[in-house]
């Protein structure tokens, strides 16, 4: 993916969270899908769903319930919890088959990543997101280095995050 597409994704997610949108979409690419799944794993976004040009049905975007037993007890009278496994990206064809239409030559270019944005106390978790890598100085990091950044460790010349939602992510 070129830096232009990645910079566009960063600014789109920042603008969508500042506009208080609950759901937004980006074009589907493998690199962006992996990045968003890591952001979901570390608590920056609620969910990532592969879909078409129209938003996925609400049943495809399941709520994430707290692991706190007291909180689950309060919610259990209103909502039935269900297990969600988001630790691994979906297998090829798995996410596409949930849409009902599947992936074909005709619709492959219209596939989108639908992202549920996260808010805490009426403020977006993802307040600032900017591209660290520049055309003259590219920064390449794997998942272990990104995990270190999220924990607040400096990786090269890139400062670590001080709090969830406070710093550079991609």
Can you give the residue range of the structural domain that contains 46?
3-150
| pTM of this structure | 0.64
Count: domains in the chain: 1
Domain-located, residue 114: yes
What mean pLDDT do residues 28-33 have? 89
Residues 131-170: tens digit of each pLDDT: 887 778 888 888 888 888 878 888 888 888 766 544 444 4
What mean pLDDT is predicted for residues 21-35?
90
Percent of the chain with pLDDT over 70: 67
pLDDT per residue as tens digits for the range 79-94 = 554 555 555 555 444 4
Kindly give the residue spans of alpha helices, DSSP state H, lying in the chain.
Answer: 3-18, 30-41, 69-75, 94-98, 143-150
Domain membership flag for residue 170: no
Separation between Cα atoms, residue 14 and residue 2, nearest integer Å: 19
């Amino acid at each position: 993916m070129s830096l232009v597409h990645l910079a566009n994704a960063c600014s789109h997610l920042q603008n969508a969270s500042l506009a208080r949108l609950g759901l937004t979409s980006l074009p589907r690419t493998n690199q962006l899908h992996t990045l968003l799944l890591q952001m979901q794993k570390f608590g920056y976004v609620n969910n990532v769903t592969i879909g078409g040009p129209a938003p996925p049905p609400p049943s495809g975007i399941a709520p994430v319930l707290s692991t706190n037993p007291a909180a689950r007890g309060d919610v259990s009278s209103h909502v039935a919890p269900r297990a969600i496994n988001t630790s691994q990206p979906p297998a090829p064809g798995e996410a596409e088959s949930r849409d009902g239409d599947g992936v074909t030559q005709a619709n492959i270019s219209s596939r989108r990543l639908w992202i549920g944005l996260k808010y805490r106390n009426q403020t977006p978790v993802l307040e600032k997101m900017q591209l660290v890598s520049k055309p003259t100085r590219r920064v390449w990091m794997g998942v272990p280095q990104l995990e270190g950044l999220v924990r607040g460790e400096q990786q090269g010349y890139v400062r670590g995050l001080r709090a969830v939602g406070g710093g550079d992510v991609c």
